[in-house]
Amino acid sequence: MELIFLGTSAGVPTRTRNMTATLLNLQHPTQAGLWLFDCGEGTQHQMLSTAFNPGKLERIFISHLHGDHLFGLPGLLCSRSMSGHAHPLTIYGPRGLREFTETALRLSGSWTDYPLEIIEITAGEILDDGLRKVTAFTLEHPLECYGYRIEEHDKPGALDAKALKAAGVKPGPHFQDLKAGKSVVLEDGRQIHGADYLAAPIAGKSVAIFGDTSPCAGAYELAKGVDVMVHETTLDTSMEEKANSRGHSSTRQAALLAKEACVGRLIITHVSSRYDDKGCQRLLEECQAIFPATELAYDFAVFTV
């Protein structure tokens, strides 16, 4: 998987940072998959500067209904339709998402020429497509807000083809069944168990993508043990009280969570417009002092999971 940041600013855009939006490219070898997390104003325009087309979007996950996470959605939906893309699209988000989307389309005389499904969620598992699952966790913010944990299922280990051939199993359909862990009966009546010829499973990757939040009970479970945690750092440590009063987190709080939850890497984003490049570097350093494996997201940054 890889994360592509289309917008990394908090509240309002800056000259170098657009409103919140993050692509997750699933990079599955046999199944196309492009997911979008939040859709701030200008997201479709940001996509024009990438190799990705809105028509390839399969799912959109909205954390909450504040405009800097949502106002780009109607335009993206319409442009996707006008481009002639017929692939289905599913949108997940809190209560009110359906009313917002349908009202925006209706009042603007717009429509979609592709199947569009809007699912208003609550906390818990919201999706399992057989390859990965997505779980929503409630966060602490003035509006109903969620973070999303994406977990790939473990992959079967490599099949020991050499040992199978030595056991008299010829390459063919049986290999496919054995790779899936099934048992097969050979022509001579012997039963071969796939589990006996498979290496240990390969652990799937995991990502936690937070919406806006101040520290809360659900944050640890959302982040626990993930390979990559994407978390807002709206304000620096000296402004922590102000950040929390508005449902946001400081650098110190994001880094402490990453450390306590034993995540692999922390990517910080959703930075207040008060910080220039030098200020953003200070935010990064504050996090790294607590959790060294911290990186700063910027518009069009790409991170491999």
**Global pTM value:** 0.89
Give the strand pairing for 302-304 and 2-7: antiparallel
DSSP type of residue 83: T
Structure tokens at 23: 């692509």
Above pLDDT 70, what percent of the chain? 99
Q: Is 68 a catalytic residue?
A: yes
Quick one: what percent of the chain has pLDDT higher than 90? Answer: 76
Please tell me which residue in 38, 68, 236, 299 is annotated as part of the active site: 68
288-303: per-residue pLDDT in tens?
A: 999 999 999 999 999 9
> Residues annotated as binding site for Zn(2+)?
64, 66, 68-69, 141, 212, 270
Domain limits, the chain: 2-155+202-304, 161-197
Helices 73-82 and 97-107 meet at what angle, rounded to 10?
A: 60
Q: Residue 147: which residues within 8 A CB-CB, separation 6 or more? A: 63, 136, 137, 139, 208, 209, 210, 211, 213, 218, 219, 222
Residues in Cβ contact with 115 at an 8 Å cutoff, skipping those fewer than 6 apart: 88, 89
Residue 222 in contact with residue 232, Cβ under 8 Å?
no
CATH topology of domain 2-155+202-304: Metallo-beta-lactamase; Chain A (3.60.15)
- Label residue 107 by pLDDT band (50, 70, 90): very high
Choose between 50 and 191: higher pLDDT. 50
